[in-house]
């Protein structure tokens, strides 16, 4: 830290308890009381440097008696007046960035102008500020920190404004152009800039500063001064992402809740400030959080999603204003596709809500995301067909969010206090076209049914209507077909669509096999024999055959399951209500039979010459159809 030396005399001041004495050999003829401290001094050195002291001494002086004057409102208090008194006596002292603001304000308050002596304190402090402090990042920062204690005086003399403008100018300028703050880090650099070790040049060059080099420095400022500095930086055109990064750093330093869930794999250790001293009170944290929200630009991607969720969680704990909570939810909604499941699992901090997690908040965040997705030209079900759902670049964010919400539903489903309408509302909020597969939704529904066994059959059917059985994978269909928690109507649909998927897959395998055989013949006719290509073709054909065999076995198993299920339903119908199965067959039986027949004719029946096993499968299926028709 730079300094300027004043005075030449040795220190002649001694402290005894709450009193200072000047040991010049002459008896003291004036006592100056500043706060709880008394200064026993001499009139002439004081009145020869200060207009205020001259008037006060004239008012109370009576003959040769020792006078007593009181200065209750001097900027900086007794500590600053001690330095002023030493300056008046010509005692050695140093002007530094830590005391120059106090001395400049005290000199102004005491009218220590050039009229009362050349090189008076106002002139000396003003010179040090303009020639030293305002040219240095570190000194300007230190001087600005001291302005907090005497802000009205510093504001009147424009010291605060000049310090802020200096810091803003240096922060907005590329530090590599002028050498700050590298040149101010310490004396362990040679004039050429190489790093010194024990006074010997190592030849290494200091690293270039990143745009966030000033984050930690200005985080030491009080909130009012920090806000002013950020506002000046914004007016100077600094990039929004840099401003947002500084705000996030400042929030992490003074909001302890943000660091409790801090991951161990942060990308930069600079972004994890260490809290110094006791944390602020809850009231101060609430004010800080609301100010951070007002200063944050409303733009996607400026602040990591994890930090935004931390701010939102803290806002709920501190009971911040509704506008603050709403703004944070909107910011998260803008980049919900970047969130993780852990981020969404926010505990419920409200005593009026029974659920373990704050499902309502996630619902609002999802609605913000969907609204922005529509405004920005997100995909709609009318503009995209089923074949384009997977792998479409424009659908990547919304499909990511759909998968995230399905995972969240599975996590909150075990909560016995989670009501069915709330679960349904969140699941239904995701558009159908956003889910290429409904496996995740099926898993969440299954967990909810398992955790809520008291649900009525009608409620179960209503819940299961949220998923599309045609969009279940073969693995999910296999699980659902054996799931006793699902309503009977849903199980029948699952079995039907699973058979359709298997038959379509078998037909596709036959078509691919035919195409491969034809292409091999063409290649052999034009290019002759190719041993490497032939071996590859043989392996592919073997893989296809294995796949078709497994599919045929699965078709046979499904037909057996369907037959046994039909027999069980018939038994239940005879004992309870015979008309129930009639309604089921009217709704599903004939439709299933006709669609299965069409699938058979369009796919499997055209491959009669490929395998004798297919004939056996069709015979079993024909018998099964006849039994269904006779029962119908």
Rounded Cα distance, 251 and 474, in Å:
49
* Closest-CA residue to 495 (of 544, 418, 558): 558
pTM of the model: 0.72
Dihedral sign, CA of 493, 499, 505, 507?
A: negative
Q: What are phi and psi of 40, to 5 degrees?
A: -95, 105
Q: Which helix (H) or strand (E) holds 14?
A: strand 13-16
Cβ atoms of 148 and 163 closer than 8 Å: no
| CA triple 222-224-229, angle to 5 deg | 90
Locate 223 and state its tokens.
């909130």
| CA triple 495-501-505, angle to 5 deg | 145
Angle, to 10 degrees, between the axis of helix 474-481 and the axis of helix 488-527? Answer: 150
pLDDT for residue 51: 93
* Closest-CA residue to 340 (of 272, 273, 419, 263): 263
Rounded Cα distance, 307 and 310, in Å:
5
| CA triple 557-558-560, angle to 5 deg | 65
pLDDT for residue 511: 58
Rounded Cα distance, 249 and 239, in Å:
16
Cβ atoms of 80 and 103 closer than 8 Å: yes
For residue 95, list its beta bridge partners. Answer: 4
Cα-based torsion angle of the residue sequence 222, 223, 227, 230 in order, rounded to the nearest 10 degrees: 60
Specify whether the backbone of 119 is left (phi greater than 0), alpha (psi in -120 to 50) or beta: left
Q: What are phi and psi of 382, to 5 degrees?
A: -80, -20
Cα Rg of the chain (Å, integer) = 41
pLDDT for residue 376: 78
Length of the chain: 632
CB atoms within 10 A of CB 392: 14
* Closest-CA residue to 105 (of 81, 135, 130): 81
What are the 10-residue block averages of pLDDT along the chain, 632 residues in total? 78 84 84 92 91 89 75 92 93 93 96 92 96 95 95 96 95 67 47 50 54 91 95 92 94 85 43 54 93 93 94 94 96 95 91 84 96 75 47 69 96 94 95 91 93 91 88 85 84 78 64 52 46 54 61 70 74 58 44 39 39 42 42 42
Rounded Cα distance, 546 and 542, in Å:
6
Task: Supply the DSSP string of 68-113, one letter for each residue.
Answer: EEE-TT-TTHHHHHHHHHHHHHTB-EEEETTTHHHHHHHHHHTT--
Cβ atoms of 144 and 155 closer than 8 Å: no
Angle, to 10 degrees, between the axis of helix 439-451 and the axis of helix 420-429? Answer: 180
Q: Helix, strand or coil for residue 412?
A: helix
Locate 211 and state its tokens.
């745009």
Cβ atoms of 601 and 503 closer than 8 Å: no
Locate 297 and state its tokens.
């630009």
Locate 140 and state its tokens.
């300007």
Cβ atoms of 314 and 285 closer than 8 Å: yes
């Amino acid at each position: 830290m730079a300094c300027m030396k004043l005075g030449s005399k040795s220190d002649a001041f001694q402290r005894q308890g709450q009193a200072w004495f000047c040991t010049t050999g002459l008896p003291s003829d004036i006592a100056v009381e500043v706060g709880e401290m008394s200064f026993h001094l001499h009139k002439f050195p004081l009145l020869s440097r200060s207009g205020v002291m001259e008037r006060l001494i004239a008012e109370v002086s009576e003959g040769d008696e020792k006078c007593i004057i009181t200065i209750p409102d001097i900027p900086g208090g007794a500590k600053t007046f001690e330095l002023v008194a030493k300056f008046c006596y010509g005692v050695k002292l140093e002007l530094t960035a830590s005391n120059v603001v106090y001395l400049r304000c005290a000199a102004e308050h005491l009218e220590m102008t050039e009229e009362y002596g050349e090189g008076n304190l106002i002139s000396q402090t003003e010179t040090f500020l303009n020639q030293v402090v305002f040219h240095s990042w570190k000194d300007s920062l230190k001087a600005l920190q001291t302005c907090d204690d005497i802000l009205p005086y510093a504001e009147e003399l424009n010291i605060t404004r000049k310090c802020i403008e200096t810091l803003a100018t240096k922060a907005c300028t590329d530090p590599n152009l002028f050498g700050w703050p590298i040149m101010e880090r310490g004396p362990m650099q040679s004039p050429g800039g190489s790093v010194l070790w024990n006074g010997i040049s190592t030849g290494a060059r200091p690293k270039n500063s990143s745009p966030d080099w000033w984050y930690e420095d200005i985080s030491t400022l009080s909130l009012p001064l920090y806000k002013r500095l950020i506002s000046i930086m914004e007016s100077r055109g600094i990039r929004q992402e840099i401003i947002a990064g500084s705000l996030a750093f400042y929030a992490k330093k003074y909001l302890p809740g943000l660091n409790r869930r801090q991951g161990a794999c942060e990308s930069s250790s600079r972004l994890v400030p260490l809290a110094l001293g006791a944390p602020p009170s809850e009231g101060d944290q609430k004010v800080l959080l609301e100010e951070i929200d007002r200063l944050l630009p409303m733009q996607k991607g400026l602040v990591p999603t994890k930090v935004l969720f931390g701010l939102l969680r803290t806002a709920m704990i501190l009971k911040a204003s509704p506008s603050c909570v709403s703004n944070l939810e909107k910011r998260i909604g803008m980049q919900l596709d970047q969130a993780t499941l852990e981020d969404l699992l926010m505990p419920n901090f409200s005593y009026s809500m029974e659920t373990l997690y704050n499902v309502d908040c996630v619902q609002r965040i999802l609605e913000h995301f969907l609204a922005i997705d529509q405004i920005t030209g997100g995909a709609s079900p009318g503009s995209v067909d089923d074949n384009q759902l997977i792998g479409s670049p424009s659908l990547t964010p919304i499909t990511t969010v759909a998968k995230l919400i399905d995972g969240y539903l599975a996590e909150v489903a075990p909560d016995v206090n989670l009501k069915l309408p709330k679960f349904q509302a969140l699941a239904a909020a995701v558009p159908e076209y956003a889910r290429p597969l409904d496996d995740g939704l099926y898993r969440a529904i299954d967990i909810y049914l398992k955790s809520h066994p008291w649900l009525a059959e009608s409620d179960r059917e209503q819940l299961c209507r949220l998923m599309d059985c045609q969009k279940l994978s073969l693995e999910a269909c296999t699980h659902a077909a054996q799931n006793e928690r699902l309503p009977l109507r849903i199980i029948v649909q699952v079995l039907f669509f699973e058979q359709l998927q298997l038959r379509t897959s078998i037909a596709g395998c036959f078509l691919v096999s035919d195409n491969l055989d034809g292409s091999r013949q063409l290649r052999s006719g034009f290019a002759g024999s190719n041993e490497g290509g032939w071996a590859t073709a043989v392996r592919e054909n073997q893989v296809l055959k294995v796949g078709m065999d497994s599919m045929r076995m699965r078709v046979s198993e499904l037909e057996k399951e369907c037959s046994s299920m039909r027999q069980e339903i018939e038994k239940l119908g005879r004992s309870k209500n015979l008309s129930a199965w009639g309604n089921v067959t009217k709704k599903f039986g004939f439709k299933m039979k006709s669609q299965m027949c069409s699938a058979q004719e369009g796919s499997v029946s055209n491959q009669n010459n490929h395998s004798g096993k297919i004939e056996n499968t069709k015979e079993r299926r024909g018998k099964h159809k006849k039994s269904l028709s006779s029962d119908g």
